[in-house]
Amino acid sequence: MKVAVFGLGFVGLTTALGFADKGFEVRGYDTNTQRCAEISRGHLPFFEPGLDEALARHIGKTFLVADSALEAVEASDVCFVCVGTPGLPNGSADLTSLLACIDSVSESIPDQCVLIVKSTVPPGTVTEQITPYVRTKGLKNPVAVNPEFLREGMCWEDFMHPDRVVCGVSDDAAEDVLLQLYAPFHAPVHLVEPNTAEFIKYLSNSLLATMISYSNEMSLLADAVGSIDTARAFHILHEDKRLAGAGINSYIYPGCGYGGYCLPKDTAALAAVAQNKGIEPRILNGVISLNEEMPERTAEKIARAVNSKDSKIGILGLSFKPGSDDVRDSPAAKIISALIKAGYDDLYVYDPIATEEFRRMHRLPIYYAASAREVCEACDTVALVTAWAEFGSINKEFPETRFIDCRYFLGKA
Ligand SMILES: NC(=O)C1=CN([C@@H]2O[C@H](COP(=O)(O)OP(=O)(O)OC[C@H]3O[C@@H](n4cnc5c(N)ncnc54)[C@H](O)[C@@H]3O)[C@@H](O)[C@H]2O)C=CC1
Ligand SMILES: O=C(O)[C@H]1O[C@H](OP(=O)(O)OP(=O)(O)OC[C@H]2O[C@@H](n3ccc(=O)[nH]c3=O)[C@H](O)[C@@H]2O)[C@H](O)[C@@H](O)[C@@H]1O
């Protein structure tokens, strides 16, 4: 089976290499020509463990980067669309890239090729918008939706070992193709209506966001009461036998707000769907507004701990989470901006891998240190904003430094 993949970001490149690894012939295409050139040279455009080796194994063999949409899709049996679906100002998902992608294949897609939306799209999108759009182009191709559940930093591992595969299908052709594609992964494949598939994706991300906001609200409450060891309280909560050992526990834990490319935009998009359907999304609205407040609250907590506005403040961690160099919607950027706005502008920052990406995306007047040690040597107060394991015992190395543990993860000094 010949597979075309449109959009070679975290999801698209992983999907392309994952199917190549299972022996399918894959062609990828991205409108970002620089990204295509980099990938063709065997260079991964972002940090993602395991994906670099997969690229080295398959590039120029079972995986080729096409020079055009036409070259990618011609002769393909299935075409995955993995382009971005960012949030619009009203929270709804922006489908511009997705529709542009369909435009780009409409002249050349083979009649039998199954078009599969892997981008995250709100419930109702494929049935009410994508399929009708495809039909207005005069195309009769089957359309399906196959949401992706991988996490950044774990893209390869999550894609190659899925705990479940969800396929929203409304015809036999799409069903057959998806079953063949996923057979080598030996995971449960759920064939459901497209709306259900889309809904499952949002159930997942909105639940993660809800657990994080719940935990953050509890941490604010604990701070207000005082004399509460918040980290210890949550760890003891996790010992409840209904939670003990569950991976999900790490989301039932406070920090400085969820970030990244997906949780913020997906919660907002789901709330927008509810609003459009006349359902007041009371819980989601609370989850979102608390999350929007967290960076400001965190900056206030840091500011309260320092002596004066002239103090040098250290910030450890810039990526939205450890194990990733993605800085999209990273709480660090918002915390730093809030500190600068409040007049605390002597900031030393460090991240193990995200510094260059952060510098490129956020033009902030801050000093980029070469190590966590340099930050701790220069600053009296250091805030831990991203829970990189290497920061876990830094307080023991610098007993004189005041650490603000915004992720509740430092070992006791
Ligand atoms: N990043 C993640 O961890 C996950 C993302 N998703 C969803 O997958 C989708 C993609 O996300 P990412 O891979 O993170 O985005 P990304 O921003 O890393 O990659 C998207 C790529 O699509 C390309 N593109 C845009 N328009 C195009 C077009 N017309 N034709 C071909 N390429 C085009 C862009 O140049 C970019 O390289 C989104 O809907 C996201 O919500 C789902 C699960 C996990
Ligand atoms: O749709 C998506 O894009 C993806 O969104 C998240 O994946 P990702 O954004 O890579 O990152 P997570 O590891 O879930 O982190 C999201 C936020 O939760 C926070 N988080 C993460 C993990 C954790 O244990 N605890 C925790 O608070 C992170 O700091 C971050 O702000 C979901 O976990 C994936 O299942 C989903 O496919």
What does the pLDDT look like over 133-158, one tens digit per residue?
Answer: 999 999 999 999 999 999 999 999 99
> In this structure, is residue 410 part of a structural domain?
no
Residue 23 C-beta-side C-alpha neighbours within 13 Å: 6
10 is in which domain, residue-wise?
2-192
What average pLDDT does the structure give for the chain? 97
Task: Indicate whether 218 and 141 sit together in one domain.
Answer: no
Q: Is the CB of 101 under 6 A from ligand 1?
A: yes
Return the closest-CA partner of residue 259 out of 312, 303, 295, 215: 295
| Domain edge (last residue) among 192, 210, 230 | 192
Q: Is the CB of 211 under 6 A from ligand 2?
A: no
Which protein residue's CA is at the shortest distance from atom 24 of ligand 2?
250
> In this structure, is residue 411 part of a structural domain?
no
Asked whether residue 248 carries a pLDDT value surpassing 60, the answer given is yes
Choose the residue to mutate in 206, 262, 319 for probing ligand 1, maximizing ligand atoms within 8 Å of C-beta: 262
What type of residue is 151?
Answer: R
Q: Is the CB of 392 under 6 A from ligand 1?
A: no
> In this structure, is residue 60 part of a structural domain?
yes
DSSP string, 26-92: EEEE-S-HHHHHHHHTT--SS--TTHHHHHHHHBTTTEEE-SSHHHHHTT-SEEEE----PBPTTS-
Q: Is the CB of 249 under 6 A from ligand 1?
A: no
Q: Is the CB of 153 under 6 A from ligand 1?
A: no
Choose the residue to mutate in 5, 6, 8, 11 for probing ligand 1, maximizing ligand atoms within 8 Å of C-beta: 11
Asked whether residue 100 carries a pLDDT value surpassing 80, the answer given is yes
What type of residue is 286?
Answer: G
- Environment class of 34 (CB within 10 Å of its CB; exposed 0-12, middle 13-18, buried 19+): exposed
Task: Indicate whether 184 and 232 sit together in one domain.
Answer: no
Question: Could you give phi then psi for residue 164, rounded to 5 degrees?
Answer: -160, 150
Asked whether residue 413 carries a pLDDT value surpassing 60, the answer given is no
Question: Could you give phi then psi for residue 28, rounded to 5 degrees?
Answer: -110, 155
Say what the pLDDT of residue 412 is. 62
Mean pLDDT confidence for 41-54? 97
Task: Indicate whether 187 and 205 sit together in one domain.
Answer: no
Asked whether residue 326 carries a pLDDT value surpassing 60, the answer given is yes
Q: Which ligand has the shortest distance to the CA of 121?
A: 1
Cβ atoms of 339 and 302 within 8 Å: the answer is yes
> In this structure, is residue 267 part of a structural domain?
yes
Cβ atoms of 36 and 30 within 8 Å: the answer is yes
Q: What is the tens place of the pLDDT at every residue in 101-128?
A: 999 999 999 999 999 999 999 999 999 9
Task: Indicate whether 278 and 218 sit together in one domain.
Answer: yes
Return the closest-CA partner of residue 7 out of 69, 95, 76: 69
Q: Say which CATH number the domain at 46 has.
A: 3.40.50.720
Cβ atoms of 406 and 384 within 8 Å: the answer is yes
Percent of the chain with pLDDT over 70: 100
Cβ atoms of 407 and 338 within 8 Å: the answer is no
Residues forming a β-bridge with 192: 168
Task: Indicate whether 176 and 263 sit together in one domain.
Answer: no
Which protein residue's CA is at the shortest distance from atom 28 of ligand 1?
101
Task: Indicate whether 37 and 99 sit together in one domain.
Answer: yes
Which protein residue's CA is at the shortest distance from atom 42 of ligand 1?
148
> In this structure, is residue 384 part of a structural domain?
yes
> In this structure, is residue 412 part of a structural domain?
no
Choose the residue to mutate in 30, 33, 73, 121 for probing ligand 1, maximizing ligand atoms within 8 Å of C-beta: 30
- Environment class of 345 (CB within 10 Å of its CB; exposed 0-12, middle 13-18, buried 19+): middle
Distance of alpha carbon 132 from alpha carbon 118, whole angstroms = 17
> In this structure, is residue 413 part of a structural domain?
no
Task: Indicate whether 223 and 178 sit together in one domain.
Answer: no
Please identify, by atom number, the ligand 1 atom nearest to the C-alpha of residue 120: 39
Which protein residue's CA is at the shortest distance from atom 5 of ligand 1?
11
CA of 151 to the centre of ligand 2 (A): 6
What type of residue is 171?
Answer: D
Q: Is the CB of 158 under 6 A from ligand 1?
A: no
Task: Indicate whether 174 and 80 sit together in one domain.
Answer: yes
Instruction: Give me the number of domains the chain comprises.
Output: 2
CA of 263 to the centre of ligand 2 (A): 7
Task: Indicate whether 64 and 84 sit together in one domain.
Answer: yes
| Domain edge (last residue) among 145, 162, 192 | 192
Asked whether residue 58 carries a pLDDT value surpassing 80, the answer given is yes
Say what the pLDDT of residue 307 is. 78
| Domain edge (last residue) among 133, 159, 192 | 192
Q: Is the CB of 204 under 6 A from ligand 1?
A: no
Task: Indicate whether 207 and 233 sit together in one domain.
Answer: yes
Mean pLDDT confidence for 56-78? 97
Task: Indicate whether 274 and 308 sit together in one domain.
Answer: yes
CA of 295 to the centre of ligand 1 (A): 26
Q: What is the tens place of the pLDDT at every residue in 263-315?
A: 999 999 999 999 999 999 999 999 999 999 999 999 999 999 997 899 999 99
Residues catalogued as catalytic: 262
Q: What is the tens place of the pLDDT at every residue in 5-27?
A: 999 999 999 999 999 999 999 99
Task: Indicate whether 161 and 282 sit together in one domain.
Answer: no
